[in-house]
């Protein structure tokens, strides 16, 4: 730690007010936000962010995937920059802090450097990644995936929302197709601030989570196939009811999670029965499955248990099951140098911290493929996220931004 890094704190009021201003764009129905990727509300949020960055003497550029980069010059412009940021898009019933905190905390860190006349040797770039949530266009973390070479730009732009609108069309619609090619380039490090989205920091009264990695994840589409029959004339002995069979399978999926305690995650987020008539036994049910675990080995066991349960379902009910894996992400272990810088920042500010493994995917997962990366977590009330009730206090947000400020100065090299 250098003398210039000691006792530096961000402007808590300014940071909080930026969150309140951003939350006015794409308001939800219960105090949160519905600012889904590449909608008019997303465009307005991007425009506001761009205005704030330019007011902080940063140069804003946009790549062909709509990823935004706000650059603060370093004293040595030939050095690869330190990147910090997250995303501004939200879930349909999202909160005011998920993703947004990471973008605005980075902006506040730069504004604090400007206020105090602090220069860094390396440039610093604040990034707003396109379509992190994946709620309108799947898969999630799409902008960073293309940037890191994990997904082709053509494939990303060809994905469609529920209305058949492609991502490429949506980017053009909001006028956020930039001129810079979307591709990996030299990056010294990437740091992402985020709310925890879980209960552990609040339970343990820790101000900071030093994220050491992200658990493995699998997404599936499942189809249970039965036989359509008249609801009033078909006795139980003659039924192949896809809905009741699917319900049994969902309970098996939940048991797979419960067996692993706090380490396992299984979620059925979408569940649809067909043909959707009140007096017809459903012949088809389609649903999604999200499975997660800190290790690939254990996630593979969960996968085998899921498929075995599907086989058993056919024996028990006569209903077949089709399982399609649509996305897989290996567990990620973040860079030790970045982790140590975050720990030093937390200690410098006297914030109690703990190491933590992220249960959620983040853009840092993709960035870890191409650059040293790590994350800073702050607590959120009751661990609630992807919900309009999501909340982090001004004090919690400022603590995370303080640690980010110290971390950026550590990695970018402050100059006197």
DSSP letters along 134-186, please? Answer: -SSSSSSSHHHHHHTTSS-HHHHHH-B-TTS-BHHHHHHHTT---SB------
Write out the H or E segment, with its range, that includes residue 53: helix 40-55
Could you give phi then psi for residue 355, rounded to 5 degrees?
-70, 150
Q: Which of 197, 55, 76 is nearest to 126 (CA)?
A: 55
| Bridge partners, 267 (sequence order) | 290
Unique residue bearing structure tokens 């567990």: 331
Interval 156-162 mean pLDDT = 96
Residue spans per domain, the chain: 3-215+331-415, 216-329
> What pLDDT was estimated at residue 416?
56
- 368-380 CB burial, b ≥16 within 10 A, e <16: bbbbbbbbbbbbb
Provide the 8-state DSSP code for 6: T
- 142-166 CB burial, b ≥16 within 10 A, e <16: bbbbbbbebbebeebbebebeeeee
3-class DSSP state for residue 18? helix
**206 and 354 Cβ atoms separated by less than 8 Å:** yes
CA distance 1 to 414: 10
Which CATH code fits 3-215+331-415? Answer: 3.40.630.10
Higher pLDDT: 7 or 80? It is: 80
Q: How confident is the model at residue 1 (pLDDT cuts 50, 70, 90)?
A: very low
**97 and 390 Cβ atoms separated by less than 8 Å:** yes
pLDDT greater than 60 at residue 4: no
CA distance 318 to 312: 10
User: pLDDT for 234-283, tens place per residue?
Assistant: 999 999 999 999 999 999 999 999 999 988 999 999 999 999 999 999 99
> What pLDDT was estimated at residue 7?
65
Unique residue bearing structure tokens 């979408």: 270
Compute CA 78 distance to the chain's CA centroid, rounded to the nearest angstrom.
Answer: 31
Mean of pLDDT over the chain: 96
User: pLDDT for 35-92, tens place per residue?
Assistant: 999 999 999 999 999 999 999 999 999 999 999 999 999 999 999 999 999 999 999 9
Structure tokens at 205: 């009264």
**303 and 218 Cβ atoms separated by less than 8 Å:** yes
Q: Which of 165, 209, 189 is nearest to 38 (CA)?
A: 165
Q: Give Dmax (Cα) for the chain.
A: 84
pLDDT greater than 60 at residue 6: no
Interval 340-359 mean pLDDT = 96
Contacts of 308 (CB under 8 A, 6+ apart): none
Interval 319-326 mean pLDDT = 97
Crossing angle between the packed helical segments 12-23 and 394-412, to the nearest 10 degrees: 110
User: pLDDT for 192-237, tens place per residue?
Assistant: 999 999 999 999 999 999 999 999 999 999 999 999 999 999 999 9
DSSP letters along 55-101, please? Answer: HTT-EEEEBTT--EEEEEPPS-TTSPPEEEEE-----TTB-SSTTHH
Q: Which CATH architecture has domain 216-329?
A: 2-Layer Sandwich (3.30)
CA distance 209 to 205: 11
Q: How confident is the model at residue 138 (pLDDT cuts 50, 70, 90)?
A: confident
Higher pLDDT: 259 or 360? It is: 259
Q: Which of 204, 195, 248 is nearest to 226 (CA)?
A: 248
């Amino acid at each position: 730690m250098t003398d210039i890094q000691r006792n530096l704190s961000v402007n808590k009021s300014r940071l909080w007010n930026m969150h309140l201003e951003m939350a006015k764009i794409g308001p939800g129905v219960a105090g949160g936000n519905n600012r889904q990727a590449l909608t008019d509300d997303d465009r307005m949020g991007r425009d506001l962010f761009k205005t704030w960055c330019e007011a902080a003497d940063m140069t804003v550029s946009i790549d062909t995937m709509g990823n935004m980069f706000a650059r603060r010059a370093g004293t040595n412009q030939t050095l690869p920059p330190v990147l910090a940021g997250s995303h501004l898009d939200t879930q349909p019933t999202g909160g005011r802090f998920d993703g947004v905190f990471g973008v605005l905390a980075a902006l506040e860190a730069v504004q604090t450097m400007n206020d105090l006349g602090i220069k860094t040797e390396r440039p610093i770039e604040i990034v707003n990644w396109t379509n992190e949530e994946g709620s309108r266009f799947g898969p999630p973390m799409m902008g960073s995936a293309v940037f890191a070479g994990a997904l082709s730009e053509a494939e990303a732009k060809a994905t469609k929302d529920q209305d058949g609108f492609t991502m490429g069309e949506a980017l053009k619609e909001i006028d956020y197709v930039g001129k810079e090619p979307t591709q990996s380039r030299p990056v010294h490090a990437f740091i992402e601030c985020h709310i925890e989205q879980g209960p552990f920091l609040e339970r343990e009264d820790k101000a900071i989570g030093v994220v050491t990695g992200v658990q493995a994840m699998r997404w599936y589409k499942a189809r249970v196939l039965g036989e359509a029959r008249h609801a009033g004339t078909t006795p139980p002995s003659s039924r192949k009811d896809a809905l009741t069979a699917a319900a049994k399978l969902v309970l098996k999926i939940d048991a797979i999670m419960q067996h692993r305690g706090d380490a396992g995650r299984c979620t059925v987020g979408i569940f649809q029965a067909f043909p959707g008539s009140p007096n017809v036994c459903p012949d088809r049910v389609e649903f999604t499955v999200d499975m997660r675990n800190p290790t690939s080995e254990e996630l593979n066991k969960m996968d085998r248990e899921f498929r075995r349960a599907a086989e058993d379902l056919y024996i028990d009910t006569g209903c077949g099951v089709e399982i399609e894996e649509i996305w897989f992400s290996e567990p990620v272990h973040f860079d030790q140098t970045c982790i140590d810088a975050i720990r030093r920042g937390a200690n410098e500010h006297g914030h109690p911290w703990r190491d933590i493994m992220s249960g959620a995917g983040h853009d840092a997962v993709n960035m870890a493929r191409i650059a040293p990366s790590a994350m800073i977590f702050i607590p959120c009330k009751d661990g609630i996220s992807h919900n309009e009730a999501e909340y982090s206090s001004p004090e919690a947000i400022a603590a995370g931004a303080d640690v980010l400020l110290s971390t950026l100065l550590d990695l970018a090299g402050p100059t006197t």
